[in-house]
Structure 1
Amino acid sequence: MSTEAVETLDEKTLKHPCYNCIAHKYARMHIPVAPKCNVSCNFCNRKYDCVNETRPGVTSEVLTPELARDKFKLVKDKVKNLTVVGIAGPGDPLANFEETKKSIELIKKEAPDITFCLSTNGLMLPFYADELIKLGVSHITITINSVDPKISGQIYKFVDYLGEKLEGEEAGKVLLHNQISGLKYITKKGIISKINIVMIKGLNDNHIPDIVKKVKECGAYMTNIMPLIPVAGSVFENRPTVDDLELNNMRKKCGLDLKQMYHCKQCRADAIGTLENDISGKFRKFDLKEIDENKIGSKKINYRFAVATKSGLNIDEHFGHATQLYIYDVINGEPKFLEKRSVDKYCIGINECSGHDDRISKIISAVSDCNAVLALRAGLEPISILNEKGIKLFQMYNKIDKGIERAIELLEKN
């Protein structure tokens, strides 16, 4: 690759937080305008209005292109560091091409300089690549979980290709052919491509280096190896996931061949904000004419909770280990995800979990508007300090919504 080409890639990715790890100060907005999907993945369960989950395929609303434009205008006005608009579902953007196309056209009229990107399974990429280029899409992510049709046949239930339902190895062959041909074409046309790979223990984990080598040959800019999220209701709900050590070892191994992404948050289809601070809750389930900070703040909030969670599903993280807390409001008895808040890790070693006023003061500041903190475990010192500030800390392991119900019971008893 020439120096000129590298500089062009660097220039285009400078303000895209997913493609550039040092672009963390910039924000992105996912517009959920694509509900239909043409590939059924065994790890997917695309529940809408699932505020307790932070993962691909989840959204609290599906927007028309016109509503997506209107919401973009409001978000752009309030989120000054917004540089990227992405379409990542909740289905596949190319299975909803007319909605995808119109959304991009409408938003481009409002903000010609905004960066447009989308994520796709690649099945229809050869059909729409030229139109995406004309629309000004500069970044495309393709999820390629295998370059062996036999393995693909175990990852996908079926592929709906031009009205024909394909299964097993046959589905894998068609999907792979279109993914690879589409990838080669868009990279030749100057599109910056990222390849998402879901690492599935015992299925494709040993095969991932082959995927990375193949997509490198086809011109991919980087790969993003992600852990399987065992989602309730999916075929793979009971399949074990990989730990951070296994995941990062694979990334390091594959990094010898191609640039790797280490900072992925496996975002929702309606995510807004920086990767470290998803503020989509501030813009969720409100009439678009009323998305105003003052009006949002005036809504009746019964309780506010900060939750220590690694999975985004359960209360499953030690208070002292958390680097971000999920904030939930209880409005009219219903828990609603508001946002994520970054905090300093309170416990950084066996002898470093107490006596740090600077750390605890920052955490208290981050949760000062909360009634309680919910965590898997916590030390006596933070429990005592939070209690002095009028903030309860409840230790429990439970699903987030159930934990919030229990916390409300305990607060009302007192």
Structure 2
Amino acid sequence: MRQASTAPAFPALEGRHPCFSATAEGHSRAARLHLPVSPGCNITCRFCRRDFNDVEHRPGVATRLLTPEQAVDVVRRALLLCPTLSVVGIAGPGDPLFTRHALRTFTLVHAAWPELLLCLSTNGLLLPERADAIGEVGVRTVTVTVNAVDPAIQAVISPVIAWHQRRLEGVAAAERLIRNQLDGIAAMKARGITVKVNTVLVPGVNDAHVEEVARSVAAAGAELINVIPLIPQHRFAHLPRPTAGEVHRARQAARRHLRVFTHCQRCRADACGVPGVSDFTAELYGDNRVAEPTFSHG
């Protein structure tokens, strides 16, 4: 059982990567940029509604989609707008491993600015087979969204996946996803890449299961967990938001096995700035901000 600690979880990242900093001070010191280069997803999550707009502040939303080459120009301008920028991440709007756009973008960014930390967020379905490529492009931190390690629970949250041009449903889909997530975490650990797990807390679905998630991902090699309260929307719009007490209890349960990240701002896929402190997204996109149709859910 892991004991709570106020020491930095990752000294090399403390104050440089806001999503891997254990202290509030470290979290509010460095800026990050998310590049929205990933157009589609290979799993369906009942809480996920991907969209293009400039008003919502949540995951899965971006002003517009970028090509890898356009993303390089955005990084260049972001560095001028935000001198404390230290992390470039790709977290959507779809899954970054579903297409090659994210890995291509990381290759270009790493060649131009090797001092920047590169961070990838994924559902983990393709993580094992992309493990070598992720390491080769310079990614140092990976976040994997793992909402359950019990297939019956996972099937409620993500009932369908697209796996090697096949549609898998229900428990079969959940078993494949969970297996790949845990194998992918282990593959990242073996390559010296630091792994954080995001778990969306869904009342009545996985709220009593968070400790088992933490136990399993810790055994696979994850070193940090972020329990995120559900945003009731899409097919989970009828569910209540988790209460502060429910979130606290879930985090306490997870803390028995992993360090718990508690400063999450649930960022957009095109966020720029210090989370919860500054936001340069409007300056980056300006009058080029456009609305586009919602992505298909797989």
Residues 180-259 of structure 1 aligned to structure 2 (within 5 Å): 180-231=182-233, 234-259=234-259
2:44 is the alignment partner of 1:40: yes
- Would the aligned equivalents of 1:65 and 1:103 in 2 still touch at CA under 8 Å? yes
Tell me the CA shift for residue 60 of structure 1.
0.9
Aligned match of 2:67 = 64
Aligned match of 1:140 = 142
Superposed CA RMSD: 1.9
1:56–1:213: structure 2 CA closer, same or farther, 3 Å change rule? same
- For 2:140 and 2:146, the matched residues in 1 are separated by 19
Aligned match of 2:267 = 267
- Would the aligned equivalents of 2:62 and 2:93 in 1 still touch at CA under 8 Å? yes
- For 2:216 and 2:265, the matched residues in 1 are separated by 25
Secondary structure (helix, strand or coil) at the match of 1:85 reads strand
Q: Give the fraction of aligned pairs with identical amino acids, expressed as a percent.
A: 36
Count of residues in Structure 1 that have an aligned counterpart in Structure 2: 281
- For 2:151 and 2:20, the matched residues in 1 are separated by 28
Tell me the CA shift for residue 287 of structure 1.
4.9
- Runs ≥4 in structure 1, deviation > 4 angstroms? none
- Would the aligned equivalents of 1:61 and 1:285 in 2 still touch at CA under 8 Å? no
Residues 361-372 of structure 1 aligned to structure 2 (within 5 Å): none
- Would the aligned equivalents of 2:13 and 2:20 in 1 still touch at CA under 8 Å? no
* More contact order relative to length (CA 8 Å, sep ≥ 6): 2
Partner deviation per Cα, 1:366-396 (whole Å, 9 max, x = no partner): xxxxxxxxxxxxxxxxxxxxxxxxxxxxxxx
Secondary structure (helix, strand or coil) at the match of 1:278 reads coil
The structure whose Rg is larger is 1
Q: Structure 1, unaligned stretches of length 5 or more?
A: 1-5, 289-333, 335-414
- For 1:148 and 1:250, the matched residues in 2 are separated by 16
- For 1:95 and 1:286, the matched residues in 2 are separated by 29
Q: Structure 2, unaligned stretches of length 5 or more?
A: 1-6, 291-298
Tell me the CA shift for residue 175 of structure 1.
0.2
Aligned match of 2:284 = 283
Residues 362-401 of structure 1 aligned to structure 2 (within 5 Å): none
- For 2:109 and 2:275, the matched residues in 1 are separated by 22
Q: Which amino acid aligns with 2:267?
A: C
Secondary structure (helix, strand or coil) at the match of 2:236 reads coil
Partner deviation per Cα, 1:107-131 (whole Å, 9 max, x = no partner): 1222111000010000000110111
Partner deviation per Cα, 1:240-265 (whole Å, 9 max, x = no partner): 12022221222123213210011001
- For 2:183 and 2:80, the matched residues in 1 are separated by 39
- Would the aligned equivalents of 1:55 and 1:266 in 2 still touch at CA under 8 Å? yes
TM-score by length of 1: 0.65
- Would the aligned equivalents of 1:60 and 1:285 in 2 still touch at CA under 8 Å? no
- Would the aligned equivalents of 1:18 and 1:264 in 2 still touch at CA under 8 Å? yes
Partner deviation per Cα, 1:4-24 (whole Å, 9 max, x = no partner): xx9994214441000003321
Q: Which amino acid aligns with 2:198?
A: N
Secondary structure (helix, strand or coil) at the match of 2:203 reads coil
